[in-house]
Amino acid sequence: DAKTTQPPSMDCAEGRAANLPCNHSTISGNEYVYWYRQIHSQGPQYIIHGLKNNETNEMASLIITEDRKSSTLILPHATLRDTAVYYCIVRVNTGNQFYFGTGTSLTVIP
């Protein structure tokens, strides 16, 4: 699976959009981009995933660049409860295992 690079930490003001970047320059054509978050040592929570098209659900939007070498997770209106470590993962759709990197620690500031 391709490796990902994320900034170690970010701050975001409450109510503003949080944009979390992820670089996956070695991604292969059959690898999906997944985002999970982990709040204070709870189990990771699934957020969203995509292959090449932008995706949106009730939690977030995922923007994948045309060359698929990077992506951005957007939390449209961050709340204090969004403070967590966010993991960007790329994985091929044949091996049922995720390789988590170090993630981005997002702090939402009141």
Partner 1 sequence: KAGVTQTPRYLIKTRGQQVTLSCSPISGHRSVSWYQQTPGQGLQFLFEYFSETQRNKGNFPGRFSGRQFSNSRSEMNVSTLELGDSALYLCASSGDYAWETQYFGPGTRLLVL
Using the rule CB under 8 A, which residue among 45, 56, 65, 79 binds partner 1?
A: 45
Q: What's the CA gap between 14 and 10, in Å, rounded?
A: 13
93 near partner 1, rule: CB under 8 A: yes
One-letter amino acid for residue 92 of the chain: V
5 near partner 1, rule: CB under 8 A: no
53 near partner 1, rule: CB under 8 A: no
Name which of residues 9 to 38 contact partner 1 (CB under 8 A). 32, 34, 36
Which region holds residue 25: left if phi is over 0, alpha if psi is between -120 and 50, else beta?
Answer: alpha
Distances (CA, A) of 93 to 28, 31, 61, 102: 11, 6, 21, 22
Query: 31 or 82: whose CB is closer to partner 1?
Result: 31
Task: List interacting residues with partner 1 (CB under 8 A).
Answer: 32, 34, 36, 41-46, 49, 87, 93-102
